[in-house]
């Protein structure tokens, strides 16, 4: 039986597959909505589909995806345990950066995915994903830190910034940093749960004032 979160995602996926609101749909092969568990505690958000993703209709299935799978293995997670999506659902031509207007046009899909899944932690992969949620943050400073922010469309969320696996794949020092940041994910999720419990037991029904974009843990 499919959960109500899954049902919402199924509905959303149908709508995304029919979307042609921006020019990216004119040149891509197919829309890549996202993949994973509707009940995931952790949602990973990348930049946009590349060549392999465009061909298969699934996110992170190329070289960067293989590296991501390896890192998930290190923290005892499988792809089925998490949810992965991108800030743009259609491949930018020749893998160029998505334009700000393309990211904004695609944002309502991502917003609805986040609200349907309601993850404990959003892990941003790369600078485009970081910029959409925490504008102005530099990835060289924000990586490996948990940051909380309230956004009207998705509420108060905890974000954890990582370097993009594709950028780190062939860069030895960035690769080491990424793996080291990645290993901290389970601890960050535990901290998020603990802080939610404290909020719940200390002041029932009252959300504490949030520190916008401050490092939490
Ligand atoms: N890079 C991304 O940002 N997303 C993918 O789905 C694949 C590669």
Residues 97-100: contacts with CB under 8 Å, at least 24 apart = 97/47, 97/128, 98/24, 98/47, 98/48, 98/128
Query: CA-to-CA distance for 173 and 3, rounded, in angstroms?
Result: 42
Going by pLDDT thresholds of 50, 70 and 90, the confidence category of residue 216 is low
Going by pLDDT thresholds of 50, 70 and 90, the confidence category of residue 213 is low
Look at residue 3 in the predicted model and tell me its pLDDT.
85
Residue 163 beta carbon below 6 angstroms from any ligand 1 atom: no
Q: Specify the number of domains making up the chain.
A: 1
Q: Between 209 and 191, where is the model more confident? A: 191
Q: Taking a C-beta distance cutoff of 8 angstroms, is the pair 137, 212 a contact?
A: no
Domain containing residue 70: 3-215
47 C-alpha to ligand 1 centroid (Å): 6
Does residue 206 have a pLDDT over 50?
no
Look at residue 113 in the predicted model and tell me its pLDDT.
98
Residue 59 beta carbon below 6 angstroms from any ligand 1 atom: yes
Read off the CATH number of the domain in which 87 is found: 3.40.470.10
Residue 47 beta carbon below 6 angstroms from any ligand 1 atom: yes
Does residue 146 have a pLDDT over 90?
yes
Name residues whose C-beta falls within 8 Å of residue 78's C-beta, 6 or more positions apart in sequence.
Answer: 72
């Amino acid at each position: 039986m499919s959960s109500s979160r899954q049902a919402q995602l199924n509905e959303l996926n149908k709508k995304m597959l029919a979307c042609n609101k921006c020019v990216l749909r004119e040149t891509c092969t197919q829309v890549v909505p996202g993949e994973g568990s509707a009940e995931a505690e952790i949602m990973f958000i990348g930049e946009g589909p590349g060549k392999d993703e465009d061909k298969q209709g699934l996110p992170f299935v190329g070289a960067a995806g293989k590296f991501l799978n390896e890192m998930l293995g290190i923290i005892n997670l499988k792809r089925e345990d998490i949810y992965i999506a991108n800030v743009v659902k259609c491949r930018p031509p020749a893998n160029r950066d998505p334009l700000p207007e393309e990211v904004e046009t695609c944002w309502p899909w991502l917003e609805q995915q986040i609200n349907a899944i309601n993850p404990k932690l959003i892990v941003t992969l790369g600078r485009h994903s970081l910029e959409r949620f925490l504008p102005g943050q530099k990835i060289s400073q924000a990586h490996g830190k948990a940051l909380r922010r309230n956004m009207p469309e998705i509420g108060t969320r905890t974000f954890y910034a990582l370097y993009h696996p594709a950028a780190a794949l062939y860069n030895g020092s960035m690769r080491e940093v990424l793996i080291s940041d990645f290993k901290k994910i389970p601890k960050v999720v535990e901290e998020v749960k603990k802080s939610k419990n404290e909020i719940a037991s200390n002041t029932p029904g009252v959300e504490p004032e949030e520190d916008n974009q401050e490092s939490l843990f």
